[in-house]
Structure 1
């Protein structure tokens, strides 16, 4: 069975994942915890890692079953075909989320546009393009996974 990417209505990711699970469809909606600032308080909230995306695992012939859930808009396509996500890529996301708080990244003497290979952590051996460098963090593009990674500089912890 393949993993596909379902595009949802904005802010419907968790609801869609819940509906799909109730329908018996294997799905994965990666969730992260963020601190949100309001005028009177700060609060930790759980938000999807990817806005408007939920991963579903099912047979090609069963792909239309996801449309029984309200909030599902369409499948994500790549080169005219439904985008397929490899099991290894889903595993990398899960592994990264499990250890996201404890990962230190040390990057020295690099510049924007450089291609680097990550040496440790859940994305080890992945190649990344340096998109942004500032005082507190680095922004890296992981082309093989189709995502952007924002990592704190080690001296900002």
Structure 2
């Protein structure tokens, strides 16, 4: 079965995922914990990693079932077809969210331009190129994922 991306009403991601799961559709809404502040207090809340998006795993012929749920607006399209997400990409998101928020990386000998393979954290086994070496951190380019990563230096 393929994974598709469903666009939801704003702030309805968790509700749509719960309702889709309730009707038997496999839905995944990746959540992160962040601190929200009100005028009288602060609180840790879980918010969606991707605003207005939920991933669903469903057969092509069953795709219209998602519209049985209030809050599901439409599928996300890419080049005129519903956008497909690979199982490996969903697993990468899950593993990235499952690691601790902080972890240590020892890399005292790195210099600009070095090619490395990350050994721990959410991007373990990914190759990277050192873009910058600063006093307190490194800036890495993860070419395979097309992103830039800032890594704090381990305190000695």
When normalised by structure 1's length, the TM-score is 0.75
**What is the DSSP-based 3-state SS (H/G/I as helix, E as strand, rest coil) of the residue aligned with 1:101?**
coil
Judging changes above 3 Å, is the alpha-carbon distance between structure 1 residues 26 and 79 closer, same or farther for their aligned structure 2 residues? same
1:100-139 maps to which residues of 2 (within 5 A)?
100-104=100-104, 119-120=118-119, 121-126=121-126
What residue number does 2:26 align with? 26
Following superposition, the deviation at residue 154 of structure 1 comes to 4.2
The Cα RMSD (Å) is 3.4
Q: Distance in 2 between matches of 1:6 and 1:77?
A: 9
**Separation in structure 2 between the aligned mates of residue 143 and residue 64 of structure 1, nearest angstrom:** 36
Tell me if 1:95 matches 2:95. Answer: yes
Do the aligned residues in 1 keep the contact of 2:118 with 2:127 (CA within 8 Å)?
A: no
For residues 64 and 93 of structure 1, the distance between their equivalents in structure 2, rounded to whole angstroms, comes to 25
2:11 is paired with a residue whose SS is coil
Task: Please name the residue that 1:13 is paired with.
Answer: 13
Residue in 2 that maps onto 1:37: 37
Q: CA deviation at 1:37?
A: 2.2
- The answer to whether the Cα contact below 8 Å between 2:6 and 2:56 also exists between their aligned partners in 1 is yes
Unaligned runs of 5+ in 2: none
- Provide, for residues 4-59 of structure 1, a one-character-per-residue CA deviation record: whole Å limited to 9, x for no partner: 01011110000000110111100100111101122332210010111111000010
Q: What 5-or-longer segments of structure 1 have no aligned partner?
A: none
Instruction: Give the number of equivalent residue pairs.
Output: 152
Between structure 1 and structure 2, the one with the greater Rg is 2
Measured in 2, the distance between the counterparts of 1:94 and 1:23 equals 23
